[in-house]
């Protein structure tokens, strides 16, 4: 299922000095690059379909493999794996991002400075949804989409970001323009309180994050529940693609 992708290993430290290494899969040769951060179920067929859609639109797609088997989903198995990866993921941490965000920031800088990727966007989903908000503060990142951001677990009223990260992201969004965030209205993993917390932190005096809520149940807006979401999910996908085209390809 990963035919056509180029694989490499990338290592970078966190701010605590812990070294993180993950494989990174790349496909496409467009000058505009989108980093797809996998959701908790893993890099399964639906995530690869999302990647195919973006490659067909002349984007280069970069997929870090953070956890779990490739080519299929493993929700329970990956949940257990993430719990064991405490040096990378802090699923319950309030007001602080997971250490693996430092690794993704370093990857984005490497893509720009060493791999020739001129214009970079990021999609975070579920487990990594909040990461996209932190990453927009990077000067290597020009666009970001946070789909069903689900951390911190067990506290929908908090954000998985420090005050310093929020401030940096606000400043960057004032510079490059609003990013997008998506959720289903009946999603309990990314509930309405989460979007209220994002809205309060970022949209108090201007729209820095456009909050898009789709009707009905579901969780994975751009992948597992895209078909179930019907026309609203299809329109959300089109808006995401158009957003990246405007920011990265115009």
Q: What is the DSSP string of 185-227?
A: TT-SSS-HHHHHHHHHHH-SSS-SEEEEEESSS-S-TTTTTTT
Report the alpha-carbon distance of residue 35 to residue 32 in Å, rounded: 10
pLDDT in the model for residue 222: 98
With a cut of 90, say whether residue 118 has pLDDT above it: no
Torsion sign, CA atoms 69, 71, 77, 78: positive
What are 62's strand-pairing partners? 26, 35
pLDDT in the model for residue 29: 87
Residues with Cβ within 8 Å of residue 225, at least 6 apart in sequence: 184, 218, 219, 233
Task: Give CA separation, 221 vs 141, 167, 197, in Å.
Answer: 22, 27, 20
Find out whether 33 and 119 touch, Cβ atoms under 8 Å. yes
Q: Does the reported pTM lie above 0.85?
A: yes
Find out whether 90 and 98 touch, Cβ atoms under 8 Å. yes
Mean pLDDT of 102-120: 95
Half-sphere exposure of 125 (CA within 13 A, CB side): 25
With a cut of 90, say whether residue 220 has pLDDT above it: yes
pLDDT in the model for residue 239: 98
Characterize the bridge pairing of strands 60-65 and 19-27. antiparallel
pLDDT in the model for residue 228: 93
With a cut of 80, say whether residue 1 has pLDDT above it: no
The whole-chain average pLDDT of the chain stands at: 96
Mean pLDDT of 88-106: 96
Task: Give CA separation, 211 vs 23, 38, 67, 159, in Å.
Answer: 32, 21, 28, 15
Report the alpha-carbon distance of residue 228 to residue 77 in Å, rounded: 24
Report the alpha-carbon distance of residue 142 to residue 159 in Å, rounded: 22
What is the per-residue pLDDT across 133-166, written as a single tens digit (0 to 9) for each? Answer: 999 999 999 999 999 999 999 999 999 999 999 9
What is the per-residue pLDDT across 18-61, written as a single tens digit (0 to 9) for each? Answer: 999 999 999 998 889 999 999 999 999 999 999 999 999 999 99
């Amino acid at each position: 299922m990963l035919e056509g992708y180029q694989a490499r290993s990338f290592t970078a430290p966190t701010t605590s000095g812990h070294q993180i290494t993950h494989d990174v899969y790349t496909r496409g040769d467009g000058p505009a690059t989108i980093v797809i951060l996998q959701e908790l179920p893993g890099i399964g067929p639906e995530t690869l379909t999302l990647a195919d859609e973006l490659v067909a639109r002349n984007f280069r797609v970069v997929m870090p493999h953070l956890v779990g088997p490739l080519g299929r989903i493993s929700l329970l198995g990956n949940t257990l794996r993430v719990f064991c990866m405490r040096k990378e993921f802090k699923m319950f941490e309030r007001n602080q991002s997971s250490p693996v965000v430092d690794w993704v920031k370093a990857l984005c800088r490497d893509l720009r400075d060493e791999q020739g990727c001129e214009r970079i966007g990021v999609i975070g989903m579920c487990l990594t949804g909040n990461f996209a908000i932190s990453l927009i503060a990077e000067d290597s990142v020009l666009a970001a989409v946070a789909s069903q951001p689900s951390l911190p677990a067990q506290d929908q009223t908090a954000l998985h970001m420090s005050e310093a990260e929020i401030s940096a992201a606000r400043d960057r969004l004032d510079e490059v323009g609003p990013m997008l965030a998506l959720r289903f209205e009946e999603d309990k993993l990314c509930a309405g309180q989460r979007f209220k917390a994002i809205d309060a932190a970022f949209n108090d005096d201007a729209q820095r994050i456009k909050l898009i809520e789709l009707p009905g149940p579901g969780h994975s807006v751009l992948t597992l529940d895209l078909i179930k979401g019907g026309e609203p999910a299809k329109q959300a996908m089109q808006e995401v693609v158009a957003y990246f085209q405007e920011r990265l390809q115009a």
